Structure formats: C-alpha cells, structure tokens
Structure 1
Amino acid sequence: MFPTVSLISVSVALASVVWAQTFPATPLASKSFPWPTGVPYQADTENLVRGRQTGYNICNSTTQNQDSLCQTSFINSIDDFCIWGPKDPNSVVGDTEGEAVAWCSKPGHGGRLIPEGTLKGLQWTRTPDYVQIVGHIDQTRINMAAGDFGGEMDPHGADLRGNPIGGLVYSNGWSGNNDSYTQVIEWHNFVGNNFFCFKACDPSKTNAAAFCEHTLDRIGCAYNAPNNAQEGVFEACQGENQDFPGVYTVNGVATTYRQPPESLGAITTMPYTARVPASSNCVTYSSAEIFAALASVSPDASVTPSSSSGTASTSQPTSSAPSSRAGTSSGTAAGAIETGNGADIVVMSGIVTTLGVVFSALFLS
C-alpha cells in the first residue's frame, strides 16, 4: 500500500520541478541593463519550456540588415522608433511573438528597417507618464500575414520571460539628451489588423505598470492605448494621460474591467468605451520628410500582398476572433494577444497529470 503522505510529497515536488522549468530565476521586467555598456548579448540566457532567446540584444551597424535578429527596440520620437514584428514572412503573430524582432523607422539601431510605404499614418504623443506611437500600417511589409488580427508584445508574458523572449526597450524620451537612453521597464506593443500601438512608461513614475498594463491582451489598441491616429496624417503631440487601461468611470464610480477567459469565446461587446485623452500642440509632418531613409528598403519578395492593396484599415476593432493556435492561453484581437507560449498551460497540465497519478495510486492502494 502506498503511503499517502509520500505520494502527496512526490506530487508537490514534481509540480515544483515543472514550475522551475517554466519560470526564470529573475523575470525579464526585473532585469536592469544600462545603455550602452550594460547591454548583454542576450537578456535571457535560460533554456526553459519555450527554448532559448532567438535573437540578440547587442545591436549596431554590423547587425543592421533586413535579416537582423536584433531584439532591442527604441521609442524616441515620431521619426525614430522600432516596433516588434515577425522574423519570417507571412507569419501569424500569435504563433511567433516570442521570436519577434525589432523593425525600425530609421537606421542606427541595428535592427531591420521598416520598408517604405508600410507606415500609413502616425500619432506620436508625449504625456506626463508615458510616450506613445500609434499608427496605421501595411502589416504584410513587416512579415505579418494579411488578415492576422495580431498580438501583444510586452516584458512579461505567461512565463515572465517577455514577448519577445529577452526583448529590451530603450528611450531618450525622458533624458533631455538624444544620446542618453533609459531602459523602459514597463511597455506594451499591440500590432494587428493593419494597426499598431507602442507605449513606453516612464520608469521614474509611480504608475508605470498601471499605464502599461499587459493583461488586457484581447481588446487591442482602442482600450489599451486610446488615440486619435488618422490614416494619411503624421503628427506629434503633447497629451494628457489616459485612464489606466481597463479602468472606466460611470456616474462618478470607477470600475475595473476584467477580461473574460478565452474559453468563453470571442469578446463581442464591451461595457464601456475608452476615453481618448486630449492632445495639444500637434505638429504635422509629411511621410517623405521624416522617413526618407526608408525609401531604399523594400519588403521581402516572398511576402503575400495585403488584401487591402497596401491601404491600412481605418478601424481599431476591439473584439477577439478565435485563436489560430490550439492549446494555448492566447486569443486574438485587433493588435491584441499577450502571450504565445502557453507556459501557464504547461504548468497546469504538469500538475494535473501528477495529481492524477497520485489519486490513481491512492484509489488502487
């Protein structure tokens, strides 16, 4: 007969092993890498459930090309930013967000250059607590499949290794010096349905994690980064802070929205409309004057043209569609998916399997 205490102890021990194999000793969002001397070759050196970091973080002129695997991104101004995108053509973000690479709007950061004609309209906003770039794009030109509703990249993820794994973000937005960069600890980047938003929260401010909330991965830019981005318009503005993502006020009462689990199906209605914060002192630019360096860059010839013939969608959908990837915790929406690794499912399935063996043994004993 099996000793009950021993079997339960074995269960706990095995569950601990699964947990240890899934989560890093130090979460990515807790790692500090001062620019430039403190940047490591790879911010993530683990070999856990999702494998190793795909690319590298030391990026310079030797890594800048259209096959670069640079996983260090920048967000500095309307003409100087990088967004995360797939490394291979015709990719579905929900399947590849852990391997995303930096696609940049100008040379100098060591990543890939966003091809000419990709950016269809942008709004850059600087607020008291964050900087944000939002825009209309032809996503097929940064290796996303046409029609992909996309995903969310952030420094957390279900296994705390980030999406992409080891992805770092820097900004000179708070230094007052174009050559002085601050590591952005809290950020999120949604991309999909020919639209994107990338927000970087000032690490010196108390509410950085709240403004750069990373758990509302199924409701997209309209709720996580409310904006006034217009197709065909390129503008840089000052702005007020938005409400914390997911927090809204009705009749003077603040309420927090809780995203339903994907198992309940697509999100077809929302209890509120996110407030778009006021903007001011907007300066308008032409695409040609701020992205002249992109003219020499062409998209991969193997990329399937967008069904919209290169014209970005003018809408920012907020409801989710069924995930194209079975067995994971991710869902799809307009630029909305948080994780593509299913790490939480791995942990739970390991525990359930272990407990199943234990209870079977107890029943048979």
Structure 2
Amino acid sequence: MSRSALSSVSALLAIAAVVRAQPDPADPTPLVDKHYAYPSGIPYQVDYNTAAIRGPQIGYNICNGTTENQDSLCQTSMVNHIDDFCLWAPPKPNSTIGDTEGQEVAWCTKPGRGTRLMPEGTLYGVQYIKTPNYIQIAGFVDQTKLNMAADDYGGELDPHGADLRGNPLGGLMYSNAFPSNNGNNDTYQQVIDWTNFMGGNGFCIKVCDPAGTNQQALCQNIYDRLGCAYNAPNNAQNGTFEVCQGDDMTPVGVYTSNGATMTYFQPPESLGPISSVPYTPVVPSSSSCVTYQSAQLYTGLPAPTGASGSAQPTGSAKPSGSKSGGAAAPSGTSNGAGALGVSTVAGAAGVLFAMAFLS
C-alpha cells in the first residue's frame, strides 16, 4: 500500500474517532494531550476533576516503593519487554472490564514499578513483537488472578474513550523500548498511542513509538468490538514465551479488494452484534524469534492468594510445529465498555483464540 493511500486512510480514521468522541466540559483537555516527563513531571493525579461526568480518577500516577503492593491503585503503566510490562485490570475481584473500564489499575511483571504485581502463574504464554513503529505483546492469562471474572470476554482499554479522558481515567503509559531512547533502559518516554484488550483468558497490548510514523492508525482505538485478531494480529501460542522482530501490520479496517484500498468501520452497537467483517486480518511476517522459559522471565512475583477459580485455558498444551493463529481477546462496546460474546477455537498446535468468530 502506498504512503499516500495510508495517509488518506489515517485521515479517515481520525475523522471517525473525532465524530464519535465528545470531550467532557469539566475536563476538556484530552488525555492524549497531557504530557509528563518521567518521573519528575508526573502529577499525583492526571484526572482529578470531581465535577466531570464520570467522576474523578480513582487512583494515582505517582507510583514508587510506598505504593507497591497488591492493593495499589497505581495508574501509571510500563511496557518495555517480554519480562517487563503491565496490563490494565480491575482493582476489585470478580469484576468485568465493561463495568470497570475507567477504574483499571496497572498489574506488572516486574517489581519496582510501584504497582500491583501479576501473581505467579498468571501468564500461560506470551509473544513480544518489535516492529519498525510499535511493540506488541499478546498472550494467554488466568484472568481471575487479575481480578477479572472468569467468564468475562472483556473489552478495550485505551487513552481515548467517549469523553477523551481515557480508560482508565488518567491512565499513563511509559516505555524504554524505542530507538529514541538510544538504548538507555533508565529513560522512559510517555507513550501517547496505545491499546490494550483484555478478556476471554487472552490479552494483547500494542504501544506505538512516539517518534514513529502513522501511530494513530497503527494504534487505532475505534475497532474495540473486533478484539485482538483484528487490532493486534499475532502468532502467540499457549505455553510458548518468545521475542521476535516483525513487520508493521496493515492499519485496522484497511484492506484490499479487487486491487482497491478499502476502509471498514465497525457499526454502532445499537445495530446489534457484528455478524461479519469484509476481510480477514493477516498476521504480519516475523523473524529472529527467541524462545524463553517463563521461569527465566518472571521472577519475584507473589504467590496467588487462594484458589484462582479457573483452570488453564483450553488448548494449554505446549504447541509444536507451525504457527497458525494467536491470542484474540474479545472486546466490548463502542467506547470500550460491555462484553461481546465471541466463540473460540483451539488449533491443531494448541493455539487458543486462533480467530475471533463474531456472533
């Protein structure tokens, strides 16, 4: 696809997002326009206006050793590498993403972030992909260990939302993974464009390089009913932990039909379930994959408290052979809330959520 075609598509996607979103008059500055240097420039709370329609931010953004515990309300996330990333998940047990999207807190794989830590055994398989313009992490989880209800098919978290205040409200994200850091792991950049799908015992999180190209299209947030299969095509496999180099995906919604570049927009939720999408997402090429054992990666995590209440996801045997699918966590409504029932399949290689079959 030509650069001019991509630019035109990006403009269309931006227009669609603006039409859907309406700033809250009590807090009209979009979250994506709130920039803070790490760590000295971060305020206690990014979103504190009690008069705002959705109420104030429940947590805080200054996170350190005094806030690191399993009751932390830290809402500043890090996404760096396969052994060092955070996911957004509820603060209270047995919650759904749809009911708590504005309240999610950071759950991280590494101590020292001032957040909650994912309990030992939360992650069943993870694929980390580094592309020219973003990093993407997808995989399989016992979501009950992250306070999610066992049967929650989840939704999308992103820095936008219907009122542009973000889901979660005031949630910040930082990374040291991009070239402009010059390999300095002690320097973190604020990530402006990102998306995180949680649910169905799967997840995907994609963060776009602040200095990259086409970030808004590559980390688009208006396809939240289509899940990871469309928003973050991947080859994550249950039981496998790997790091790969990869190509950029084609922006969500963009496809070619009879030689012409087309753009699909998901219909409003008021029209009912999505029964079909006019194209099948393609997993971008990847290479130079390195496989790890989970015990090598996730040290220092706390033991889970009590029974998790869920078994390891279907298709949990360590796969072998060629890769044929990936994590495809379902999603929610047009602003990231609610739940969309999505059936799943386990492939011959033990891959769960190989494709999202829309109901």
TM-score (norm 1): 0.80
Which of the residues 31, 35, 38 maps onto 1:35?
38
| Structure 1 residue 292 corresponds to structure 2 residue 294 | no
- Give a deviation string over 1:41-68, Cα, whole Å, max 9, x none: 1111222011100000010111110000
CA contact (8 A) 1:138 1:312 kept: no
| Structure 1 residue 276 corresponds to structure 2 residue 283 | yes
| Structure 2 counterpart SS, 1:98 | coil
- Give a deviation string over 1:261-289, Cα, whole Å, max 9, x none: 11111113221111100111111000011
In the alignment, which residue of structure 2 is the partner of 1:145? 149
Alpha-carbon distance between aligned partners in 2 of 1:334 and 1:283, rounded to the nearest angstrom: 34
Kindly report structure 1 stretches of 4+ aligned residues shifted beyond 2 Å: 19-23, 298-301, 310-321, 328-335
Alpha-carbon distance between aligned partners in 2 of 1:131 and 1:317, rounded to the nearest angstrom: 17
In the alignment, which residue of structure 2 is the partner of 1:91? 95
Amino acid at match of 2:133: D
Alpha-carbon distance between aligned partners in 1 of 2:336 and 2:151, rounded to the nearest angstrom: 21
Q: Let me know the Cα RMSD of the aligned residues.
A: 2.2
- Give a deviation string over 1:115-151, Cα, whole Å, max 9, x none: 1111000000110000111111111110000110101
| Structure 1 counterpart SS, 2:71 | coil
CA contact (8 A) 2:156 2:195 kept: yes
Quote the offset at 1:310 in angstroms. 2.7
| Structure 2 counterpart SS, 1:120 | strand
Q: Summarize the alignment of residues 249-328 of structure 1 with structure 2, pairs less than 5 Å apart.
A: 249-294=256-301, 297-301=302-306, 305-306=309-310, 309-311=311-313, 316=327
- Give a deviation string over 1:188-223, Cα, whole Å, max 9, x none: 000000000010101112311110000111010000
Gaps of 5+ in 2: 1-21, 317-325, 343-359
Q: State how many pairs are aligned.
A: 308
Alpha-carbon distance between aligned partners in 2 of 1:173 and 1:119, rounded to the nearest angstrom: 21
Structure ranking higher in helix proportion: 1
Which of the residues 212, 226, 237 maps onto 2:244?
237
| Structure 1 residue 25 corresponds to structure 2 residue 28 | yes
| Structure 1 residue 63 corresponds to structure 2 residue 70 | no
Alpha-carbon distance between aligned partners in 2 of 1:90 and 1:147, rounded to the nearest angstrom: 10
Structure 1 residues 177, 123: closer, same or farther in 2, change over 3 A? same
Alpha-carbon distance between aligned partners in 1 of 2:331 and 2:276, rounded to the nearest angstrom: 10
In the alignment, which residue of structure 2 is the partner of 1:78? 82
- Structure with more relative contact order (C-alpha pairs < 8 Å, separation 6 or more): 1
Gaps of 5+ in 1: 1-18, 336-365
| Structure 1 residue 180 corresponds to structure 2 residue 184 | no
| Structure 2 counterpart SS, 1:263 | helix
CA contact (8 A) 2:235 2:283 kept: yes
In the alignment, which residue of structure 2 is the partner of 1:115? 119
Identity of aligned residues (%): 56
Structure 1 residues 97, 329: closer, same or farther in 2, change over 3 A? closer
Quote the offset at 1:246 in angstroms. 1.3
Alpha-carbon distance between aligned partners in 1 of 2:257 and 2:23, rounded to the nearest angstrom: 43
Structure 1 residues 329, 124: closer, same or farther in 2, change over 3 A? closer
CA contact (8 A) 2:74 2:114 kept: yes
Structure 1 residues 260, 313: closer, same or farther in 2, change over 3 A? farther
Computing the radius of gyration from Cα coordinates, the structure with the larger value is 1
CA contact (8 A) 1:130 1:202 kept: yes
CA contact (8 A) 1:27 1:160 kept: yes
CA contact (8 A) 2:143 2:150 kept: yes
